[in-house]
Structure 1
């Protein structure tokens, strides 16, 4: 049984029976059949589906946003923004897929050669709960435009969102069988990955799960894209606009109740401005409103699950025991649901849980450094490499420092965020492969070389009588 729990109250919302082995088999067979027909269409014939997906998402934005908030707890205004971003992504690929997938010709006086982009087949998407619509649609729009089919295995705490995604696809006119949501337990995923009808795998999730999926897909020699954990540094140098940096830092850490791989987590601040930054940061945190996420004024709702809150609090306690100083928060909130007080830990150093581990929730770690070189060194002193931010008034130096940071993205004087126009992904234990932009649409294609030599007559010329 797959159960949906409302994290605001801890009460069960709905439950669903798993799909049987026969139902899974039927879905895979149908997906392969549908994908063969879908790939035969031109990309120009595929992109109207993406436009309709955007239409449906916007038409039902209010309903889908409430569903996200009820199942995983983020504030309603953020859920609405998530649905709108999904629609934007669909529109972006509808507009740009024909150009991204156009044959690339190689000039030669003797031959006509080109790189062409063929779909791989049916892609298994293993998706997380923290952005239950966005994580799927940022993969699906380019993958479908490229001619692939898709099978969704969503996180089991957001089953209603998983079924709502299937509703979107059906309402948009997706060919029967080309996409399907499967309601199964995690221990059945290995069988899907090994199945010959699955051509490739994409996963957004924890580093631990990513390693398991990578091993399973690697054993089957199947392409993977993995977007995994992060411990993003937010570097504030002494010449930065401290008030502006602190204001953005509040959003960068506490958006989605801090439950994002790409949230800023380690705030690495030059000592000369550290006190001023912490004070400004604290003022911003104190203005956050904790409450019912369905209330439009709420900025901090519950964490998605009780075990996530327990793990976060244990990390805070270990960090304090190791010498971190509690600036604000540091405790679960005594009310129904899985709430945790927005927390700032100051004087965090390497070796503490808040520095070394990914903290998935509303906890910020302040790390004080002497200079920019030490800031970059500590920014890179992590097993992760997803995103990073640098705050400074010297843009020339910022560009140089950005090249020294080990991350898939570096934002200067801004908050790290995904954007349909820009490639998104990480290095090290944050995964590999890219989503979004032209790079994202080319992850699940066969980049095929087509070489054509000069025409020759194969039959000898006939002799005149």
Structure 2
């Protein structure tokens, strides 16, 4: 596995990185295991202070960090700045709330005994991170676990190696011990070796279904906890009382954010039949009006995809949908220039018999469906192997909430989609994975919830 920065806007390899040897992996596990003994005993206030320092560094170095994101995986600079700010807020949230989450809880169970629950770390953890939100997704995993007192081995995506180095640098400078957080340029086989090591107590992966299944299998065979955040094919249901143009414009913008490369992007847009044609036309006009270009240029709304392979996969999915009978209203083609460029697309007429109905399209492709009743919309929305998040849009918030509660997802929204905040749980059901990150829920995924009982 080659770790390198290949700028997706140009196709030029700008930097290459040296992969870890098996001996490097062995030493890293030893270091992290040894560090756990002292890091877990470090006062919670000191661990919180270090995380607050990380948050401040992300704020102070925001433009630098955002520029690396844009260069490595093509995210428009303004969107990359937003990601850096979100990452900073996660480190700060755990710095602010971590000590409270560690407080002992006394249980009243109707006898004279003293029953106390304490929250303790479990040891060395392995994190396998993706490229699409390269700083936010590391923060989601690292911040709560470092606050808890676990130590971390981190494998970043091969195209985000510089981001991996920068995060490690910032954490160490802020006071996280060098052996408590170790960035590793390792292969898939080496990840398996790490998970199998008895000193490693758990693994968290954000990535594809295939990668998740492989990691979960290895973890299960070794009786270890795993948390998976995998794909999604999020439904977005528009009810018939919305401001059509405003909603269509908002939805189109949401779908094209990060060139559509988000697990929780609204990939299936469900619209009442009575406003379908006008809604589609507005989405098409909005998408065609979004500047596609250099992710570092001011005003760019859609950059390249993260890689040529990713671009080719998305284009192939659009072409196959059209071959199977879908209607392509705009875009969907590879652009004839160096890099991983694709014209953003809008599809309609996708039916259950087509591949695009079940697949996750990880690119700038809006798929719009028509429905005749709310019950039908909910049925279509829930007819998916995925279950990450979904949303309902309406002026009638009570009605929208009732519909949102019917969605079989881990996160249901009304009049917004994919909102992420440090204190909110993040995760899905079905083939979108299991476990939760962020907030108090993410804090205890890799914790020993220990009962201490003293007989009266």
Other-structure match for 1:252: 254
Is contact 1:316–1:353 with CA below 8 Å preserved after alignment?
no
Other-structure match for 1:460: none
Other-structure match for 1:311: 313
* Distance apart, 1:77 and its partner CA: 0.8
Other-structure match for 2:286: 284
* Distance apart, 1:423 and its partner CA: 0.3
Is contact 1:106–1:114 with CA below 8 Å preserved after alignment?
yes
d(CA) in 2 for partners of 1:350 and 1:418?
30
Other-structure match for 1:128: 130
d(CA) in 2 for partners of 1:243 and 1:149?
49
User: Is the aligned partner of 1:391 residue 2:393?
Assistant: yes
Other-structure match for 2:140: 138
Is contact 2:322–2:328 with CA below 8 Å preserved after alignment?
yes
Q: Deviations over 1:76-108 (max 9, x none)?
A: 111111111111111111111122221111124
Matches within 5 A, 1:329-368: 329-368=331-370
d(CA) in 2 for partners of 1:396 and 1:325?
34
Which entry has the higher C-alpha Rg, 1 or 2?
A: 1
Is contact 1:206–1:229 with CA below 8 Å preserved after alignment?
yes
TM-score, normalisation: structure 2: 0.97
d(CA) in 1 for partners of 2:433 and 2:57?
32
SS of equivalent to 1:450: strand
Q: Deviations over 1:50-91 (max 9, x none)?
A: 100011111111111111111101101111111111111111
User: Is the aligned partner of 1:67 residue 2:76?
Assistant: no
* Distance apart, 1:109 and its partner CA: 4.8
Other-structure match for 1:97: 98
Deviates more, 1:46-55 or 1:234-243: 234-243
* Distance apart, 1:232 and its partner CA: 0.3
Is contact 1:355–1:365 with CA below 8 Å preserved after alignment?
no
Is contact 2:236–2:266 with CA below 8 Å preserved after alignment?
yes
Give 2:187's match in structure 1, choosing from 185, 188, 207.
185
d(CA) in 1 for partners of 2:34 and 2:416?
45
Matches within 5 A, 1:50-61: 50-61=51-62
SS of equivalent to 1:150: strand
Is contact 1:4–1:158 with CA below 8 Å preserved after alignment?
yes
SS of equivalent to 2:159: coil
* Distance apart, 1:16 and its partner CA: 1.5
* Distance apart, 1:352 and its partner CA: 2.0
SS of equivalent to 2:398: helix
* Distance apart, 1:392 and its partner CA: 1.8
* Distance apart, 1:211 and its partner CA: 0.8
Is contact 1:407–1:427 with CA below 8 Å preserved after alignment?
yes
SS of equivalent to 1:202: strand
* Distance apart, 1:283 and its partner CA: 2.3
SS of equivalent to 1:264: coil
Q: Deviations over 1:242-297 (max 9, x none)?
A: 22321221222111111010111011111011122112222221221011001021
User: Is the aligned partner of 1:232 residue 2:234?
Assistant: yes
d(CA) in 2 for partners of 1:180 and 1:327?
47
Other-structure match for 1:115: 117
SS of equivalent to 1:327: strand
SS of equivalent to 1:295: coil
Matched residues, number: 454
d(CA) in 1 for partners of 2:21 and 2:82?
35
d(CA) in 2 for partners of 1:429 and 1:149?
28
SS of equivalent to 2:313: helix
Matches within 5 A, 1:7-86: 7-86=8-87
Is contact 2:392–2:401 with CA below 8 Å preserved after alignment?
no
d(CA) in 1 for partners of 2:106 and 2:252?
48
* Distance apart, 1:347 and its partner CA: 2.0
Unaligned runs of 5+ in 2: none
Deviates more, 1:4-13 or 1:18-27: 18-27
d(CA) in 1 for partners of 2:247 and 2:390?
13
d(CA) in 2 for partners of 1:106 and 1:190?
40
